[in-house]
Amino acid sequence: MQKETILGVDVCPYNYKQLMQEVDRDIKEKKKSFCVAINPEKIMKAQDDPELKELLNKATYQIPDGIGVIVASKLTKGNITERITGVDLMLHLCTLAAEKGYKVFLYGAKPGVANMAKQELEKQYNGIQIVGTIDGYEKDDEKVVQAINRSGADILFVAKGSPTQELWILEHMNRVNASIYQGVGGSFDVISG
Ligand code: UDP
């Protein structure tokens, strides 16, 4: 896959179907992949923040989140045609998990929220295995890593706000045994109602 570069920030020219095929293969091959949603705000912020640019470019899949990204791709004769928002990606990963029996772990948000989000997702995605939750204010990272590893999770959603969640993922993914990593911002709050 040839990534496109918009003002120095990489973006993958995948639509949902292609991305889900890639992710599915990564899980089967036990390959670790980090997904990050790229919107025009992040691209503009990265212009004055080299660390943010580096962080975004370290991800495996930079997904095109925003019409501005599609327009920029068109202007540079790129191939990005479909917008994939961070929340939609999370929900598509839940569909994949429910269909294929992949295990999901929810890490982040205030105490109790991830557990409520788990219950909502279990109502909406028949058969989904959400194998653990932990709140985003747990100070002991080692405890978090061990809880995720004990759960046998394949997919880890981290909801601690951006860029904290992305930094957490990059710092810990070498010790976490999950395959797919996504920072999902305030999604657990939204899903839990
Ligand atoms: N949060 C957390 N730990 C922290 C700080 C924040 O778990 O140390 C959670 C917070 O409870 C909320 C989410 O991170 O659920 C941040 O949501 P926000 O909408 O601000 O994130 P954004 O999508 O704007 O990055």
Same domain as 38, residue 121: no
Supply the range of the domain harboring residue 158: 86-192
- pLDDT tens per residue, range 21-55: 999 999 999 999 999 999 999 999 999 999 999 99
Give me the chain's average pLDDT, please: 97
Name the closest-CA residue to atom 5, ligand 1: 160
Residue 78 has pLDDT above 80, yes or no: yes
Last residue within a domain, chosen from 44, 75, 106: 75
Name the closest-CA residue to atom 14, ligand 1: 160
Same domain as 130, residue 149: yes
Whole-model pTM: value is 0.96
Q: How far apart are CA 155 and CA 89, in angstroms?
A: 12
Where on the phi/psi map is residue 161: left (φ > 0), alpha (ψ -120 to 50), or beta?
Answer: left
| 32 closest CA partner among 160, 153, 147, 133 | 153
| Domain contains 51 | yes
Task: Please indicate whether residue 13, judged by its CB atom, sits closer than 6 Å to ligand 1.
Answer: no
The pLDDT of residue 1: 73
Same domain as 48, residue 97: no
Last residue within a domain, chosen from 41, 75, 109: 75
| Domain contains 81 | no
- Token reading at 63: 């997904």
CATH label of the domain that carries residue 139? 3.40.50.2300
Distance 192 CA to ligand 1 centre (A): 14
Within its chain, how far is the Cα of 9 from the centroid?
17
Distance 182 CA to ligand 1 centre (A): 14
| Domain contains 15 | yes
- pLDDT tens per residue, range 138-188: 999 999 999 999 999 999 999 999 999 999 999 999 999 999 999 999 999
How many folded domains does the chain comprise?
2
- Token reading at 70: 């599609």
Residue 104 has pLDDT above 80, yes or no: yes
| 90 closest CA partner among 115, 125, 56 | 125
Same domain as 133, residue 63: no
How large is the average pLDDT for residues 99-107? 98
Pocket test for ligand 1, best of 89, 90, 165, 189 (most atoms within 8 A of CB): 189
The pLDDT of residue 15: 93
Task: Please indicate whether residue 144, judged by its CB atom, sits closer than 6 Å to ligand 1.
Answer: no
